[in-house]
Every structure is written in structure tokens, then in C-alpha cells.
Structure 1
Amino acid sequence: MTDTKTNPIDDRPTKPAMLRGFRQRCPNCGEGMLFKGYLKVVDSCPVCSEDLHHHRADDGPAYLTILIVAHVLGFLMHFVWVYLRPDPFVMATVLTIFSVALSLYLLPRLKGMIVGIQWARRMHGFGQAD
């Protein structure tokens, strides 16, 4: 028998939970939908009944989205300006549309990933009733 204080049992691996969350699925079963709207997390999974109302994603997904989009956009701005030299108005318009589209794509996925991390690490009440 292993001592859980020195060698904890990893019954909730973080990586699969993160990937399930990124796919906007329940971090426990990977089948049920994580959101009932664009960013509203369901109270419990419709498939496995795992309670998900404990999450505290707060501003984390927004910060990660800004971080990723800003780095991608900075690289694209440099590449497009150096190699293509478009009209500044065209470049600003295209990169603005790209920035908004990428932000809207990433935000719910990164929120799901953070909920998955919190579930796997038993943060904010996810491990209370086990």
C-alpha cells in the first residue's frame, strides 16, 4: 500500500483534463458539453453528473487569450509589413478581423482548459465530496 502523503495517487491526470477542457468537454468523462452558452459552464455534466459549478476561471482565460493573440498578431504584423508591404489601412483591417476571430475562437477553449486544470488538481472545491 502506498503512502498518499509521500506518493500521491494521480487519479485525475492533468493533461487529459486540460485537453478535454480545450475541446469544451467535461474534464471527467470527456463526453458531456462543458458550456451551455458561449462561456457559461454547466452546473453538472449531463453525461456523468460531475459537479462543475466549483470552477473559478475568472480572468485567467482572458489573460491567456490576450497573451496568445498578441504574440501571434505581433509576429504577423512584422512578417506582413516586411515581406508584403500592404496599404496600412488594408493591413489594419485584415489583422483586426483576424485578431477578433482568433480571440473568439480561443476564449472558450482556454476557459475549458482552466476548468479542466482546476478539476484535475482538486482546486476550489472540486475535491471536497470525493
Structure 2
Amino acid sequence: MSKPNPLLAGVAGRCPNCGEGFLFDGFLKVAPACEACGYDFAKADSGDGPAVFVIMIAGFVVAFSALFVEFALHPPVWVHLILWLPATLIISLGLMRPLKGAMLAAQFMNKASEHRNDE
């Protein structure tokens, strides 16, 4: 059996090592270890990276769409609120888990770990 693409496995929420086990133990909580291969996720930490990417992507999509609708249709403010608040929530929640999985998989691919230099 060949090794999976770690980045695609991370986006799918699977173990970047084997592609079989689950990467998450909940919506965003990282599992302690892979249930299939036993790979330890204890040192995996994506930090704020996924949140920053989600803010950038969702912000661009919603802001561009809202401006386009405003200049094309001139709707009242309540229409903007009904359209763009739920859109922001759906896009943000929809992107958070795949992007967090991708960041964790990128750490796995690059063999990243915390480095300390106490000289």
C-alpha cells in the first residue's frame, strides 16, 4: 500500500501518516494519536494559522460579494444583513476544519517541531 498525500489527507481530516485514522477528535480538537497507525499527534499545533487564512478567504469572498450586490442591485441594509452574516458564518465554519487539517499535515510533511535554542 502506498503512502497517501499528507496534504490531501489533512484536508479530509485523516491522519497525514497513513491516511486511514481520524485527525480530529471532535470538530477542531486534534486526536491524541491515530487510531489506525498510532502516529502521535501530541506535538501537533496549528496555532492561529487556520484562523488567519479563514479570515482572509471569508473576508474577501463576503466583502467582494457584498460590494458587488450593493453596486449592482442597491438593496436595503437589512438584505445585506440577511445575506452576508449567515454567509460569513457558513464560509468560516466550512473552511476552519479543512484548513486546520492542512496546516497540521504541512507540519507533518516538513517534519516541523518546536525548536528551542538555549545558548
Q: TM-score range by the shorter chain?
A: 0.7 to 0.9
Corresponding residue for 1:105?
94
Corresponding residue for 2:52?
63
Aligned counterpart for 1:94 among listed residues 74, 83, 90: 83
Alignment of 1:13-24 (within 5 A): 16-24=5-13
Whole-angstrom distance in 2 between the partners of 1:79 and 1:32: 42
Task: Specify which structure has the bigger relative contact order, considering alpha-carbon pairs within 8 angstroms and separated by 6 or more residues.
Answer: 1
Aligned counterpart for 1:41 among listed residues 19, 30, 54: 30
Corresponding residue for 2:104?
115
- Write out per-residue CA displacement over residues 40-60 of structure 1, whole angstroms, 9 at most, x where no aligned residue: 111111111111111121111
Whole-angstrom distance in 2 between the partners of 1:85 and 1:31: 50
Structure 2, unaligned runs of 5 or more: 115-119
- Write out per-residue CA displacement over residues 58-114 of structure 1, whole angstroms, 9 at most, x where no aligned residue: 111111110111111121112111222222111122101000111111111111100
TM-score relative to the length of structure 1: 0.80
> How many Å apart are 1:18 and its aligned residue?
1.6
Aligned counterpart for 1:52 among listed residues 37, 41, 51: 41
Corresponding residue for 2:73?
84
Q: Is the 8 A contact 1:56 1:124 kept in 2?
A: no
> How many Å apart are 1:121 and its aligned residue?
0.5
Further displaced range: 23-32 or 113-122? 23-32
Say what the alpha-carbon RMSD is for the aligned residues: 1.6
Aligned counterpart for 1:32 among listed residues 1, 18, 21: 21
Q: Would you say how many aligned residue pairs link Structure 1 and Structure 2?
A: 112
Counterpart residue type for residue 31 of structure 1: E
Whole-angstrom distance in 2 between the partners of 1:74 and 1:25: 32
Corresponding residue for 2:64?
75
